[in-house]
Structure 1
Amino acid sequence: MNEEHIILRAPSVVTRDIFLGGAAIPNASPLEAVAAGLTVEVEKIDRRDLSDLARSTDVVAIAPTIPMKLVEPFDVQDVLQPAAPSIAWGVQAVGADTSPFTGNGVVVAVLDTGIDATHPAFAGVTLVQQDFTGEGNGDQHGHGTHCAGTIFGRDVNNTRIGVAKGVQKALIGKVLGNNGGSSGSIVNAIQWATQNGANVISMSLGIDFPGLVKRLQDSGLPPELATSRALEGYRANVQLFEKMAQFIRASSPFFQTTLLIAAAGNESRRDQNPDFEIAVSPPAVSDGFISVAALGQSGTNFSVASFSNTGAVVAGPGVGIQSARRGGGLVSMSGTSMATPHVAGVAALWAEKLRGIGALTPNGLSARLIASGVTSGLVAGFDPFDVGTGMVRAPQL
């Protein structure tokens, strides 16, 4: 059976040792090896040929393409214009409103449903759009527009919505359309964003495992075999995302520092049963990605959102988040999709600070962002596994 697969290839001057920092041939420097780059191929391959292909010296990873979907938001409601200027609670919760940094000079990428480029929230921002769905640029859903607004949106209707509203350039990869997307399009989009200078890549999406099982059953496989193949594809894609993250980290010293940030997922149901907790889903669960849980307001404190998946690295505001609405104005949404752009925005602020002191590195940026998390404002009795290091905080000095 021919199935569509993603193939990551390193050029002939490197092998898998690049992820350990070594060159494949005696006289090839790490710079030469990394600069040669990684290529992404998506093509149909007979399963019987996979073993031979995997033994090729230039193949880093192989995985079947699997369906991807939005981390669907909850409680979507239009927002009326306030009578007086205000600041979205999430912007205040991460301390962006008191930070001297704005994200100026930092390039962010949003891999989502696209963007409403005409929205006033993005006035003055250079938006570089690339469609990976075949549907063309633009946002037919509104999810991508909302996420972008939280990262770098300008004030709308007397309300500050953007964490890093000094960002001047953003890369907008449309990876999810009316029919969802695939892991192949996500990998291609990550590669595109990295090659175009992204310092921070924000992804509010996840693997559609039930959709993968159904697709395999529809192809004629019995349920047991379809589930087994789906698990095999799930594992292979996690490993592929990890290899790609390793390559990006290895190449950062020679190009630009790039951080991968992804939503933990919204499948938990603590409101129904406190023990109904689902673990972080791919790609966020992959090593090299910073996974994000969602917090909501609880009086003057914060609490874990009932839907937020457990096991994330950090947390961000994700309940009742006001941001840009497709077509104009503001809309409120809830989800780890909304928490992720808050963390991406804070990462942009840290990137600006570190660049200013000549210390912007992958390890440095990741460490500062993760270490900025605080749990002091959380209601008593929270499970640390649900929030990681806690609510991320913007640099204040």
Structure 2
Amino acid sequence: MKNLTLKYPHLISIAILFSCLIACDEEDHTIKKTEVREAAEITLEKHGDIISGSYIVTLKQGSAQSNMRTMKGYANRQAVAKPLMHEMIKRAGLQLNQLENVYSAAGMMGFSINNVASSNLARLKRMPEVESITPNRVIALLPSYCDLYPWMDACSSEAHANSGQTIPWGVTWVGGPTDMSNSSKKAFVIDTGIDLDHPDLNLNTSLSVSFVGSNGNDGNGHGTHLAGTIGAIDNNIGVVGVAAGIQLVAVQVLNNQGSGSYAGVIAGIDYVAQTGEPGDVVNLSLGGPANNSIDNAVIALGASGIYISIAAGNAAQNANNVSPARVNGANIFTVSNMNNKGWLANTSNYGNPPIDYAAPGTNILSTWLNGGYNTLSGSSMAAAHVSGLLLVTNGNIQINGYANGDPDGTPDPIAHQ
């Protein structure tokens, strides 16, 4: 898979890959890739930074993890892990209220803490069970292409009413919708949440969770849009998704303004690792500067048999510089964005590896807030198509040609049922 490298001179953020509407083929490019990249980099300078005094602590594989190896269930594992983390917090001279998240899944045991003084940090570093300590960072929504170029004709779409049902072009391109309404499989959307009351989505609200102090209900729209492409119900209204009617689980790690933290994203991955089953799918349409803590969590999740679809990024550059898009591993797939003429989008990241597939991501109609519908573009949307395909094919995605205009010279295979 590829990851995208973005410059963050005074701020480094994991960012949701939230692009906009670009409707053009290779011959009609009106914005040079270099201009897109430069505009994105300038805008990124206005986003997040290292969170002062906040850290992600990863523990070595040890006896505590061995004792939990056969234990099932997120709540059960958290109940065992938290006292262990509390003991470490106290030994470091910290207060329990400085503990933010506890990670209890196999392969990613650890915790995140805040307001840590340098003396306490030094104590933690000396503990023999500590594998690594990395600074926590802010996450924020990347600007969309239309934020950068709002005057472009393709940036004039409005939310759509749900009169009748439309099969979006991307769903048709990848092989059409498949009814998954009776499947026990689940699609976990680690994002801004999902509109929990949307009539076109089959939400599993009992499993939906928030790590930003909410209930998983989307106040931004990005996560809801992804959910519709993955699995909107075939019910004669709105749109229909690739894996139509699949159970959707909101794992909210970004708030309504699109901000959160690395630590929160890892907490979401940790939750899915202990709640999902082999054959389930996770959509990760977010990314940021290279980070081993996030990468290792994704690798551990894929090793458990859960499929992961990751957006390549929208910076028109090599994807090997951003996490988690750069990750390669079992059951992990990075996805680039193509338009409805089979050309790689101007803004799409590239690079083989890590990119595994191209998929429809430009001018994608899907579900939106308040039971509505909207059109967006970006590798986020492309990853959602592949999430649906992973569910429909049980990970055996086929290839239907190759995307044109790939800057790295190795065309990305187009994902299909």
RMSD: 3.5
2:176 is matched with which residue: 91, 96, 115? 96
Task: Mark the CA change 1:246 to 1:116 in structure 2 (over 3 Å): closer, same or farther.
Answer: closer
Size of the aligned set, in residue pairs, is 318
Distance in 2 (CA, whole Å) between partners of 1:196 and 1:29 is 15
Whether 1:143 and 2:193 are equivalent positions in the alignment is no
Aligned to 1:194: 273
Contact 2:281 2:387 in 1 (8 A): yes
- TM-score calculated relative to the size of structure 1: 0.69
Aligned residue type for 1:201: V
Task: Mark the CA change 1:94 to 1:71 in structure 2 (over 3 Å): closer, same or farther.
Answer: farther
**SS at the partner of 2:157?**
strand
Following superposition of structure 1 onto structure 2, how do residues 276-295 of structure 1 map, counting pairs within 5 Å?
Answer: 277-280=317-320, 281-288=322-329, 289-295=332-338
**SS at the partner of 1:391?**
strand
Task: Mark the CA change 1:266 to 1:2 in structure 2 (over 3 Å): closer, same or farther.
Answer: closer
Following superposition of structure 1 onto structure 2, how do residues 149-228 of structure 1 map, counting pairs within 5 Å?
Answer: 149-155=228-234, 158-178=237-257, 180-197=259-276, 199-207=280-288
Aligned to 1:247: 300
Following superposition of structure 1 onto structure 2, how do residues 222-241 of structure 1 map, counting pairs within 5 Å?
Answer: 234-235=289-290, 238-241=291-294
Aligned residue type for 2:209: Q
Distance in 2 (CA, whole Å) between partners of 1:29 and 1:196 is 15
Task: Mark the CA change 1:160 to 1:387 in structure 2 (over 3 Å): closer, same or farther.
Answer: farther
Per-residue deviation, 1:61: 3.8
Task: Mark the CA change 1:36 to 1:200 in structure 2 (over 3 Å): closer, same or farther.
Answer: closer
Distance in 1 (CA, whole Å) between partners of 2:125 and 2:297 is 16
2:213 is matched with which residue: 134, 141, 159? 134
Aligned to 2:33: none
Distance in 1 (CA, whole Å) between partners of 2:157 and 2:62 is 53
Task: Mark the CA change 1:240 to 1:349 in structure 2 (over 3 Å): closer, same or farther.
Answer: same
- TM-score calculated relative to the size of structure 2: 0.66
Aligned to 2:415: 392
Distance in 2 (CA, whole Å) between partners of 1:314 and 1:53 is 41
Aligned to 2:109: 39
Distance in 2 (CA, whole Å) between partners of 1:61 and 1:141 is 33
Aligned to 2:361: 318
Per-residue deviation, 1:56: 4.7
Contact 1:127 1:172 in 2 (8 A): no
Distance in 2 (CA, whole Å) between partners of 1:29 and 1:142 is 37
Per-residue deviation, 1:130: 1.4
Whether 1:67 and 2:138 are equivalent positions in the alignment is yes
- Where in structure 1 are there 5+ consecutive unaligned residues? 16-22, 208-233, 269-276, 352-364
- Aligned-pair identity (%): 26
Q: Which has the higher contact order (CA 8 A, sep 6+)?
A: 2
Task: Mark the CA change 1:9 to 1:391 in structure 2 (over 3 Å): closer, same or farther.
Answer: same
**SS at the partner of 1:109?**
strand
Per-residue deviation, 1:139: 1.4
- Where in structure 2 are there 5+ consecutive unaligned residues? 1-50, 72-76, 78-103, 146-154
Superposed CA deviations along residues 314-339 of structure 1, whole A, max 9, x for unmatched, are 22110010100211232111111111
Whether 1:375 and 2:375 are equivalent positions in the alignment is no
Per-residue deviation, 1:31: 6.4
**SS at the partner of 2:213?**
coil
Per-residue deviation, 1:188: 0.4
Aligned to 2:345: 305
Following superposition of structure 1 onto structure 2, how do residues 341-356 of structure 1 map, counting pairs within 5 Å?
Answer: 341-351=384-394
**SS at the partner of 1:340?**
helix
Per-residue deviation, 1:204: 1.4
Task: Mark the CA change 1:63 to 1:160 in structure 2 (over 3 Å): closer, same or farther.
Answer: same
Superposed CA deviations along residues 325-380 of structure 1, whole A, max 9, x for unmatched, are 211232111111111111111111122xxxxxxxxxxxxx4xx34xx24434x44x
Following superposition of structure 1 onto structure 2, how do residues 109-128 of structure 1 map, counting pairs within 5 Å?
Answer: 109-123=188-202, 125-126=204-205, 128=207
Superposed CA deviations along residues 40-81 of structure 1, whole A, max 9, x for unmatched, are 311144567767745755334432111222355454723546
Distance in 2 (CA, whole Å) between partners of 1:294 and 1:154 is 24
Distance in 1 (CA, whole Å) between partners of 2:347 and 2:206 is 32
